[in-house]
Amino acid sequence: MKNIDELEKNLLEALNNENFNLSFELYCKLSDLFKNMSDENISLKQKQWIRFLLKIMSKSRVNCDDTIYTKLKATIAEDDIKTQNILLNEYEIYKKQIELKSKPQSLQITLTTKCNARCKMCGNITKPIWEVSEYGIKSIIQILPYLQDVTWMGGEVFLHNKFKYLVEQSSLYETEQNIITNGIISDMDIVKLLVMNNVRTSVSIHSFNRDVYKYITGKDCLDNIYKFLENINKLRKKYFCLSLNMVVMKSNYKEISNLFDLALKYNINEIILLPLHCEIQTFYNNENIFFGDNINLDVIKYIRELTQELESKFKAIGVKFINQLPVFEYLNKINDNESIKKDLIPIATLKCNEIFPKQKYKICRYPWTKLFVENDGEILISSSCRNMISYPMGHIDKDLLLDIWNNDKIKEIRSKIINDHCSEYCQKILD
């Protein structure tokens, strides 16, 4: 038993450090010890370990070759459909298969565009209201047993009458769940549903000033968000993940540092900063500070310094800080302002190129692992390729997700990527 405790401790450390090779070695040793112990708790433990290991495999882009596949497969219970699927999926990616026996690992799906706010930047408000039909709900239920994770998207997801049902079904199938909400509905029933089913919850907060908040969201509801966060904190359990996200623009960039006090007050695990994108042209024209010819280098510099400082402050209190703002880094040191603009590249790209210098985004795995349902029901591959592969694979109200998965359109994309035409799609956005 001492041996097992020691191994588990080391395995946890290796997994947390995202060291796949060491984790794999330790997991195989642990499985050998588990082999002779038939006990329900042991099977549960083993399932948790291998799911964590597979996550690290996928995150670190490790090739699931024949040796790894065979060794890991021998440790998965026959009736554990989800883990079997994730492993097979990784193996089929390694094998560069075009037609897949495995199902997706991940689904991001808009359930409804109904909303209780009217944010001036949000594309949903200009479109007719749409929500997933009964047919779509059945299709989601059919795919849940295979999925590693699902993200419910809106509008406000709570406004779909099947939201509670979907959350409970996903829990039953042990599918990890995520939502983004504006936090306006702070009912205890909703909060209970999220906490009991361990739904990772991200709350949008775009200002700490009532007038600015109202200007951006069309609602005088800032206090509702605080109530929502308070209620979550009353019920949450140890591993419940709560994040805040802020869309940064001209009206609110000076408020970014307020996120620190809020994170402390409400035990926030993660802070995400996103740049304003162009969904509503007039609002974007007034509020954009990051893209195009209008960028103001002094503002960019101010935000860069502020976020650098915040990064270390958040690190010190154990909050994950995800800064997706294109806070630019200079490629060349040129004094003339116009030339500088042309030679700016995002810090995020620089960092990623350091991590994957050779691949440089060559092989995109999304068409092998993901499906994404847009706010009009069209099925795409992922939200990040929506501008590159704009034609849909199908529609959630008339095509089953499982049928889409190997249709001609998606197979053609996989085939193009394998044959090195990936740049036609993704490299344009990422390079």
Residues that bind ligand SF4 (CB under 6 A): 115, 117-119, 122, 124-125, 154-155, 182, 217
376 scored as a contact of ligand SAM (CB under 6 A): no
Please give the Cα distance from 123 to 376 (Å, whole number): 11
Exposure string for 354-380, b = 16+ CB within 10 A, e = fewer: eeeeeeebebbebbbbbbbbbbebbbb
Binding-site partner at residue 118 among ligand SF4, ligand SAM, none, CB < 5 to 8 Å by type: ligand SF4
Choose the stretch contacting ligand SAM; rule: CB under 6 A; options: 174-182, 227-235, 298-306, 376-384.
174-182
**Burial zone of 79 (CB within 10 Å; 0-12 exposed, 13-18 middle, 19+ buried):** exposed
Binding-site partner at residue 181 among ligand SF4, ligand SAM, none, CB < 5 to 8 Å by type: ligand SAM
245 scored as a contact of ligand SAM (CB under 6 A): yes
Q: Which residue lies nearer to ligand SF4 by CB, 15 or 184?
A: 184
Please give the Cα distance from 168 to 396 (Å, whole number): 21
Residue 293: CB minimum distance to ligand SAM, A: 19
Strand 270-275 and strand 176-181: the pairing is unpaired
- Radius of gyration, alpha carbons of the chain: 23
Q: How many helices (H) and strands (E) does the chain have?
A: 19, 12
By residue count, the chain amounts to 431
Binding-site partner at residue 274 among ligand SF4, ligand SAM, none, CB < 5 to 8 Å by type: ligand SAM
276 scored as a contact of ligand SAM (CB under 6 A): yes
Please give the Cα distance from 144 to 401 (Å, whole number): 11
Task: Please list every residue from 194 through 223 that binds ligand SAM, using CB under 6 A.
Answer: 204
Dig out the tokens for 109 from the structure.
Answer: 């799906």
Binding-site partner at residue 345 among ligand SAM, ligand SF4, none, CB < 5 to 8 Å by type: none
Q: Which residue lies nearer to ligand SAM by CB, 75 or 207?
A: 207
Task: Please list every residue from 81 through 120 that binds ligand SAM, using CB under 6 A.
Answer: 115, 119
186 scored as a contact of ligand SAM (CB under 6 A): no
CB neighbourhood size of 409 (10 A)? 15
Q: Which residue lies nearer to ligand SF4 by CB, 183 or 367?
A: 183
242 scored as a contact of ligand SAM (CB under 6 A): no
Binding-site partner at residue 245 among ligand SAM, ligand SF4, none, CB < 5 to 8 Å by type: ligand SAM
Measured torsion, CA atoms of residues 321, 322, 328, 330, in degrees rounded to the nearest 10 = 70
Residue 375: CB minimum distance to ligand SAM, A: 8
Dig out the tokens for 405 from the structure.
Answer: 């998965």
Residue 272: CB minimum distance to ligand SAM, A: 8
51: three-class secondary structure by DSSP: helix
Element (H, E) at 364: none
243 scored as a contact of ligand SAM (CB under 6 A): no
Residue 247: CB minimum distance to ligand SAM, A: 4
Q: Where are the alpha helices (DSSP H) in 173-238?
A: 188-196, 210-217, 222-235
Residue 115: CB minimum distance to ligand SF4, A: 3
Residue found under tokens 């199938």: 173
**Burial zone of 194 (CB within 10 Å; 0-12 exposed, 13-18 middle, 19+ buried):** buried
Please give the Cα distance from 349 to 426 (Å, whole number): 13
Q: Which residue lies nearer to ligand SAM by CB, 72 or 385?
A: 385
Q: Which residue lies nearer to ligand SF4 by CB, 215 or 302?
A: 215
**Per-residue x/- marks for ligand SAM, 279-308, CB under 6 A?**
x-----------------------------
Residue 60: CB minimum distance to ligand SAM, A: 28
Binding-site partner at residue 125 among ligand SAM, ligand SF4, none, CB < 5 to 8 Å by type: ligand SF4
Q: Which residue lies nearer to ligand SF4 by CB, 89 or 182?
A: 182
156 scored as a contact of ligand SAM (CB under 6 A): yes
Please give the Cα distance from 406 to 99 (Å, whole number): 6
Q: Pick from 11, 72, 121, 199: which binds ligand SAM (CB under 6 A)? A: 121
Are the C-beta atoms of 344 and 329 separated by less than 8 Å? Answer: yes
Please give the Cα distance from 240 to 244 (Å, whole number): 14
180 scored as a contact of ligand SAM (CB under 6 A): yes
Binding-site partner at residue 251 among ligand SF4, ligand SAM, none, CB < 5 to 8 Å by type: none
122 scored as a contact of ligand SAM (CB under 6 A): yes
Strand 200-204 and strand 344-346: the pairing is unpaired
Are the C-beta atoms of 371 and 379 separated by less than 8 Å? Answer: yes
Residues that bind ligand SAM (CB under 6 A): 115, 119, 121-122, 124, 154-156, 180-182, 204, 245, 247, 274, 276-277, 279
